[in-house]
Chains A and B, each alone.
Chain A
Amino acid sequence: MAVASAMATMTAVLTAAMAKIKGNWRVLQLSAWLGWQLESNWTDPLLFLGYIFVKPVASSLILLVMYLVVTRGDTTAPAFAGMYVGNAFFAFVGQVMFGVSWVIAEDREHFATLKYVYISRIRLFWYLLGRAGAKFVITSISTAVLLLFGRYALGVPLHLTGFRPLYFGVVFGLGIVGCVGASLFMAGIMLVAARNGGGYAEGLAGLFYLASGALFPIDILPRWLQGASLALPFTYWIEGLKRALLGTATGARLSALGDTGLLWRLALGTAAAIIVGAGAFRLAEHVARRRGLLDMQTQS
């Protein structure tokens, strides 16, 4: 009798959990679809494809010219390869973080739908995650194109023989979760900031760009900034990706870390990013409700 009752309870709990997962999955799908529509339906698909390549290729070319103008060297050198790969992947941090925080501003002030999403039964977290999903897909396409361009047009040593897919997969996945954490933090900031606070996300991405050593070994940064670098999950993420794709470590401080040690630090940093991001978001949500900011209009 007791076993049957326990079984029934377990079944009910499982059914409820499944229903919840299914519901969240639907929200994720729906908001990802919405995000994709908003990102892509303003023009022809062909022009859109060009659009998503032109920006990242242009920023990579800036680095290429900066490199060549000083070294007049070849683009197969490890210094350039590290810079190129770091820059290509860093796009995820900037795009996802800015994308998610902009969803708050755009839905609240341009489309005026944030309040309706908020009062509906769905959780804002899953909605934001779905919208970030669209950004993720677009950034993945452009990053893949950048890597192919680097490999075949610039001769960046991205060889399949040195590629470590498992390590890459784990590092990449952890880093993306870290991006989501940082995005939640920025979404929280946007919940209580005016529309023009979208600049905060870009500014924070700029700080991460500088401190994570995406473009250069962190050893050349001032000591105090190196400390900040080592506290950031993105430093280990970029370094791990470079190791997985190029097979080489960057700079003295990070080279001292083994692959496993790097992975541990990345995992810890990612967990911290999620905790801080989710905490900041919940706090901002509370503040926004208290101050009546969920349907704010900046009007400036």
Chain B
Amino acid sequence: MSALLEDYAIVTEGLTRTYRVPKPKTGAKTKGKGTEFVALKGVDLTVRRGEIFGLLGPNGAGKSTLIKILSTLLLPTTGRAWVGGFDVEREARRIKPIINMVCGGETSGFGMLSVREQLWMFSQFYGLTNAQAFEIIDSMLETLGLAEAAHTRVSKLSTGMRQKMNFIRGFLNSPDILFLDEPTLGLDVSAARAIRIHVKGWLERHPQKTVLLTTHYMAEADELCDRVAIIDQGGIAACDTPSALKNRIGQDVVLGLELTGTEPRDGAFAGAISGLPGVRRSAFHQEPDRGTTQATVILKDDRPIPAVIACLAEAGAHVVGVHKSEVTLEDVFLELVGRKLHDEGGEKA
């Protein structure tokens, strides 16, 4: 294990976390212990030093729970985890100086402070001198296009600007291991791009730093991550480099279909083709803007394509477009989990 800890920034061993969901307190009926919800089920994971590692999964998959445990905010129910070689349960105090975390969509801080003051305050929690703190703060404000807002009160910032400020907070102590929990959630395209560029640049300048990233965005994971773990219902479904994961279904054919002219009947469509020989997985989602239903069907090879189209037509669908597409992580997720990642709602796990 010690050799493992030397090479790896993060190691988890059979990590399990359950939450007790208490009964609602309504009237006098407060007795009973409620139910248990399993957020993580025996997760085994290793993240190498210097790696940018992605966690992909739908809402409620356990991504945020895993990050909370690794960042010492939550204790595991069973199993163990080490961050930077330190045990998260017993050596939290030694982990804290070498980590930081940014949760997208969350904005901590005090509204009456200016952006620069707010970041200075956080820097003091890591013992930086004023000179060190302001050097990092000013440079990052510049890089992320927030320099003009440096003296604006936090309460006056837009959501995106606050999120950028929160992102800067994560880099103040130049952490060895950085946890990015959906860092671009809700940001516009250019702001999200600025953040991705910063992460890449930071890792290029500091090759020993490690990033654990959770994201909903497949392209983001594909662009940034050295390796990706697909997590679903508290367990790791697969873990590899993005290209290796895509190669897993490399022999398969990913067929994209555009259907129109019918009432949405995704269940019927899926049922119609599920039994066909050669069809591995299928997923349907509607695009109300275009008035169409987009289908993704993973096939063993080209041969079932006519049968798929015929069955869909028989089920009432008008097929207006057919294309073979490149394998994406989304397709990998569909292959492994049996549904599309974005079939879930909008909340974070």
Interface residues of A (CB under 8 A from B): 37, 41-45, 297-300
Contacts and interface: CB of A to CB of B under 8 A. Distances in A.
16 contacts: A37-B26, A41-B24, A41-B26, A43-B25, A44-B25, A44-B28, A45-B28, A297-B155, A298-B111, A299-B107, A299-B111, A299-B154, A299-B155, A300-B110, A300-B111, A300-B155
Given A299-B154, A300-B155, A42 B111 contact: no
Interface string B78-112: 00000000000000000000000000000101111
Contact of B111 (A41, A43, A44, A297): A297
B27 A45 contact: yes
Interface in B24-77: 24-28, 30
A218 B27 CA distance: 44
A42 B24 CA distance: 10
A109 to B, nearest CB: 11
B25 A298 contact: no
Contacts of A299: 107, 109-111, 154-155
A44 B27 CA distance: 8
Interface string B141-157: 00000000000001100
A43 B25 CA distance: 7
B155 A41 contact: no
Interface in B102-144: 107, 109-112
Given A43-B25, A300-B155, 20 more contacts: A37-B26, A41-B24, A41-B25, A41-B26, A44-B25, A44-B28, A44-B30, A45-B28, A297-B111, A297-B155, A298-B111, A298-B155, A299-B107, A299-B109, A299-B110, A299-B111, A299-B154, A299-B155, A300-B110, A300-B112
Interface of B: 24-28, 30, 107, 109-112, 154-155
Contacts of A45: 27-28
A43 B109 CA distance: 30
Contacts of A298: 111, 155
Secondary structure at chain A's binding surface: helix, strand, loop or mixed?
Answer: loop
A42 B109 contact: no
Contacts of B111: 297-300
A298 to B, nearest CB: 6
Main secondary structure of the interface of B (DSSP, over half): loop
Contacts of B24: 41
Contacts of A43: 25
A34 to B, nearest CB: 13
A44 B26 CA distance: 9
B48 to A, nearest CB: 39
A42 B30 CA distance: 11
B153 to A, nearest CB: 9
Nearest to A299: B111
Contacts of A41: 24-26
Contacts of A37: 26
B27 to A, nearest CB: 7
A45 B25 CA distance: 10
Nearest to A46: B28
B110 A42 contact: no
Contacts of B154: 299
A44 B155 CA distance: 37
B7 to A, nearest CB: 43
A45 B27 CA distance: 7
Contacts of B109: 299
4 residue pairs, one from A and one from B, having the closest CB atoms: A299-B111, A300-B111, A300-B112, A41-B25
Nearest to A45: B28
Nearest to B109: A299
A298 B110 CA distance: 9
A31 B99 CA distance: 45
Nearest to B112: A300
A299 B107 CA distance: 10
A297 B109 CA distance: 12
B336 to A, nearest CB: 36
Contacts of B110: 299-300
A300 B107 CA distance: 12
Contacts of B26: 37, 41
A42 B25 contact: yes
A299 B108 CA distance: 9
A141 B226 CA distance: 65
A4 B269 CA distance: 58
B114 to A, nearest CB: 13
Interface centre among B24, B28, B155 (most CB of A within 10 A): B155
Contacts of B27: 45
A41 to B, nearest CB: 5
B61 to A, nearest CB: 26
A298 B111 CA distance: 7
Nearest to B27: A45
Contacts of A297: 111, 155
Contacts of B155: 297-300
A215 B111 CA distance: 40
B46 to A, nearest CB: 39
Contacts of A300: 110-112, 155
A37 B154 CA distance: 34
Contacts of B112: 300
Nearest to A43: B25
A298 B155 CA distance: 7
A152 B112 CA distance: 52
Nearest to B28: A45
